[in-house]
Structure 1
Amino acid sequence: MRVSAGKWTKHKLMLENERLASFLPDTQYLDRTSLNIMLDKYNQIMVKPCNGFQGRGIIQISSLSNEQFVLHIESSETLVHGKENIYDYLKENHFPRKRNRYIVQQRIPLATINNNPFDVRVMVQRKKDSLEWAVTGKLARLAANNFVVTNVAKAVLSVEDAIEISLINNEKVKDIVADLEEVSLLIAGQLSNSYSQKRVYGIDLGIDLEGKVWIIEANLRPAISMFKYLNDCSYETIKAFKRG
């Protein structure tokens, strides 16, 4: 039976692995009740379409004082008064008429560079006749000014450089990189139980100021063009693995 490639399905599959569970942000299937519960638990949450791509449709909701909430969509912000009004506002203004499922998620406190958040894309691949997964490339994506998602990136740089110029403790660089690779390989191994034909995953991970690694997304059809901007031969390695 075909397994859905949506964010909610992949989150539940990863949650089944005890080692991966500690890297996953609190995530719920979105409805009116779960939205209100998450708004009560966290000052900032993210609403994401289950089948979205390239960051489209992602909304950050931040709680202010006096029942005021800021909805950050792409580079624009909207103020909504009253927690009970947020779901109806989203449904009327941002959810498409055709049925699409959404998740609501604890916002990962991404580390920043000059106040712009960054995340990490790790490519994990296996050859045609092999079950062994390998990390074939990794990079950091710096969000454009006024954007809360990195899919609109103002810069692509090495993970090591991103950590060193952020406010993360530089002494942790080697440990953080090791964690990024370990988590990515664990994700590939876990998801391959359900997506047995897949030979490539693009794993999106966040790093907070304490150096903790968080799982953002596991992409089943990742783009690789951004790796052209690195001078580490990873683009060529990724293409070689794709060929087999």
Structure 2
Amino acid sequence: MSTPGSSVFARPYRAFLFDMDGTLLNSIAAAERVWSLWAERHGLDVAAFLTTIHGARAIDTITRQALPGVDPEAEAQWITDAEINDVRGVVPIAGAGAFLAGVPADQWALVTSAPRELALRRLQAAGITPPTVMVTAEDVALGKPDPACYVLGAQRLGVPVQDCLVFEDATVGIRAGEAAGADVMVVTSTHLQPMETSHPTIDGYGKLQVRCSADGLLTLVHKAG
């Protein structure tokens, strides 16, 4: 975890913007079961392909493969339907629920590459109450690493994105947060290998809490003890 002197602990924010998969919940097992079936069906190297799926919209992942005769929209819908029907093993990142409970409801948003229906299904499976503001795959023309999703999340909360802290786990999402001009906190709970990053990191939310000032600003603090 970052030290208390890290920049994200030294400044107040107007809002927090959270990615979902790998950031608030762990859906790796479910996602990889579905994507493995899809990759096998299309003759891809499954192990190599699975390293490319995290953090991106399904339609973007499929389009990148440039498979002849494949309709990315139809295939993305197949992926979404299969993932909605398979949430076995979807669990919250340690401490996520309690941490979110300490953030005012109108000062955080979910910004995910998942379609809305899938996002709601996974949040339910993980026991996380959906926020009022959600940005999902359908809301943007370009997915992460394009910054539009994080800019839109801030707009819907009514704050400048530069005054937000983005919580992310995947490289494409980190790049989206950077490009939007927001500060970034990297959540490493689901990483199998250490990530090289200049951003502060946490392996869960258990040692974090948020302090809300009288003028409505949010500050991250380390729990005592």
TM-score range, shorter chain: under 0.3
TM-score by length of 2: 0.24
Q: Whose strand fraction is larger, Structure 1's or Structure 2's?
A: 1
Structure label with greater radius of gyration:
1
Higher relative contact order (CA 8 A, sep 6+): 2
Q: Whose helix fraction is larger, Structure 1's or Structure 2's?
A: 2
TM-score by length of 1: 0.22
